[in-house]
Chains A and B, each alone.
Chain A
């Protein structure tokens, strides 16, 4: 089936070629980082995780969001989603691959990465994250591929695949819960030390992931003969609406606890993010941009007319993506380190090579996604779906 990824038109190859160029630039930057050390990034003694871990955190959410399609279809027997489960699963594959790559490029000693398996440490959440992420990657490739093979042969998916599908549902929840636990169990990092961290992660994931999926469905609709379906896209729009409302609501809950209790440690990071602390205002513009896009997205998603129209829904999805990406991919991780444990403030700005590496990983994800979508869509076109 994979051979279908090699049978594309001119536009397909130009797109893949562009991605390969970005991947190459990222790889060369990574070689530079490998030689000099992580000192080429903007990270520091105080901000010891930067854009890599932030992207990882965001993308775990995108990966987990596949469950928002799989669950309604397999548990609630919402038939229309049959057409797009494969798109959700392959999005999961690409997203988890990016997650693993972001972890790898963040390691100070990537050649020792296997120490995590050689010296398993079940008390470390990172150990469990490694297990759930790799497991999820396997499940999505395995399920997606088998279901697609069956579809190509014009037969229903084999019965033995069902248990794996059911397993993938809680597994999707687990990857983002475990990722939230990386942060939510650290004493002394007030911004992260919150019981609703996992809930916040899941809500933002179920907004950002399906939003991205809607955008991909719209692109597939435009560029191929396969139509994921207007109804499907609209249902996804409803899911994004609910999730985004919850996401913003959960964030406001955090604000209430911090500012009504007036406990300095709880307020510091939020103040830093939105107003600046002791003259340090590095992320203020970012955060207000996120807030602005979040409000715009909520308006577009809550008003029924704009949610149902595919054009305005697309705009809403872009705004959801920007808002959640800034919230999790910038504010959450960087903000958590400010102020530092001795209440000094060091700010963080990503460097050029760091941005290249980041773009390289994203390009790799898109490369995998495009190839997998090409396979899936060709199968669907051939079977006349």
Chain B
């Protein structure tokens, strides 16, 4: 596999010369190198050696130091839950695979007793039992999946605590799936592209190959564009229409005035399997 030579030189040149170098001089040097290398394709791994992402955020980006979500389950209904799932899975090209053994899901819903095993009791409010509890990656503050990954293909982003995946680095060992206490990770057992209808595909978001693990990334790509996560947006839209409080709230835990902090201040909340010390960043108001 090779990359476009011109693109490679640009990236390599920019990294090597640094931002301070005179642009004209840099362009000249690149042009000269490009001529010298006529006819060569550069292997992809060289690109990785030279390319150090700058890590800057576009001006419109939503930023935080600890992103979190609050799921207000009393506001949830089947319609909202399904809308959240559809919004997420469509935007992220999550394939629709019928076989539950091969299925890929980033966000889905389940019953209280399955989302909070061990906390159920016989006499619990029947309505609560029936509510569609939305579940997704908890973006743990102390994520076991990142700890066990042998290649750092899954990692917690330092700037905002989002637990992310590098689909190009994942070797598919599935250690992270064994380590995740919430069953939040899916593996591409087969080529997922066959299960995405062409006209429904979102060209803005990459599809994945077989053999890699994937999961919710708190819509890091949307946050960078100043948009809320797809599920949050979808839920808030419907709740507004129905005149309910928002079922999903998203914000910065480190900001005492953020919406998530306000909700957590005014409502009693629980998290999944708190005894494991993973410190989920997804909270449930029940």
A, B assembled together: yes
Chain A interface residues (CB < 8 Å from chain B): 36-39, 41, 43-46, 48-49, 103, 106-110, 112-113, 115-116, 118-119, 121, 123-127, 130, 182-183, 186-189, 264-265, 336-337, 340-344, 346
B157 close to A (CB within 8 Å): no
Query: Which of A41, A45, A108, A187 is within 8 Å of B211, CB to CB?
Result: A108
Q: Indicate if the CB atoms of B102 and A44 lie closer than 8 Å.
A: yes
Please give, as numbers and ranges, the residues of chain B lying within 8 Å of A37 by CB-CB distance.
Answer: 188-191, 210-211
Across-interface contacts of A183 in B (CB, < 8 A): 178
Q: Is the CB of B181 within 8 A of A108?
A: no
* B150 adjacent to A116 (CB under 8 Å): yes
B280 to chain A, nearest CB (A): 12
Contacts of A43 in B (CB 8 A): 101, 189
Which chain B residues lie closer than 8 Å to A106 at the CB level?
Answer: 173-174
A-B contacts at CB below 8 angstroms, number:
148
A38-B102 Cα distance, complex, nearest whole Å = 10
Beta-carbon contact of A109 and B212 below 8 Å: yes
Chain A contacts of B34 at CB under 8 A?
A: none
The smallest beta-carbon distance between B282 and chain A, in angstroms, is 14
Determine whether the beta carbon of A116 is less than 8 Å from that of B151: yes
| CB-contacts of B16-49 with A (<8 A) | none
B149 CB–A CB distance under 8 Å: yes
Q: Does B221 contact A (CB under 8 A)?
A: no
Closest chain-A Cβ to B251's Cβ sits at a distance in Å of 26
* Alpha-carbon distance A106/B175, docked complex (angstroms): 11
Residue contact A188 to B151, C-beta cutoff 8 Å = no
Interface: B114 (CB within 8 A): yes
- A48 vs B182: C-alpha distance in the bound complex, in angstroms? 14
Bound CA–CA A220/B247 (angstroms)? 71
Q: In whole angstroms, what is the CA distance A115 to B149 when docked?
A: 11
Given A45-B101, A341-B183, verify A109-B170 contact (CB < 8 Å): yes
Instruction: Report chain B residues within 8 Å CB of A126.
Output: 148, 150, 173, 175
Q: With an 8 A cutoff between CB atoms, is B256 at the interface?
A: no
| Residues of chain A within 8 A of B278, CB atoms compared | 187
Q: Which residues of B contact A346 (CB under 8 A)?
A: 100-101
- Interface status of B54 (Cβ within 8 A of chain A): no
> Distance (Å) between the CB of B274 and the closest chain A CB?
11
Contacts of A127 in B (CB 8 A): 150
Task: Describe B's contact surface by its main secondary structure.
Answer: loop
Q: Is the CB of A187 within 8 A of B277?
A: yes
- For B187, give its contact among A45, A112, A121, A264 (CB under 8 Å): A45
**B240 close to chain A: CB less than 8 A:** no
Q: How far is the CB of A339 from chain B (nearest CB, A)?
A: 8
B227 within 8 A of A: no
Instruction: Check B64 for interface membership: any CB of A closer than 8 A.
Output: no
Given contacts A44-B101, A108-B170, A343-B117, A186 and B190 within 8 Å (CB-CB): no
Residues of A within 8 A of B172 (CB): 38, 107-109, 112
Pairwise interchain contact A342-B147, C-beta atoms closer than 8 A: no
Other-chain residue from A121, A124, A125, A188 in contact with B181 (beta carbon distance below 8 A): A188
A108 and B171: CB pair below 8 A?
Answer: yes
Q: Which residues of B contact A118 (CB under 8 A)?
A: 151
What 1/0 flags go to B162-190 for Cβ under 8 Å of A? Answer: 00000001111111011111110011111
Complexed CA–CA distance, A346 and B276 (Å): 23
Cα distance, A116 to B172, chains bound together (Å): 11
On chain A, the residues within 8 Å of B148 by CB distance are 123-126, 186
User: What residues of A have a CB within 8 angstroms of the CB of B114 in the complex?
Assistant: 342-344
| CB of B23 to closest CB in A, whole Å | 33
Q: Is the CB of A48 within 8 A of B190?
A: no
With contacts A48-B177, A109-B172 taken as known, whether A115 is within 8 angstroms of B151 at the C-beta atoms is: yes
Residues of A within 8 A of B117 (CB): 342-343
Which residues on B sit within 8 Å (CB–CB) of A124? 147-150, 175
CB distance from A266 to the nearest CB of B (A): 11
A52 shortest CB reach to chain B, Å: 11
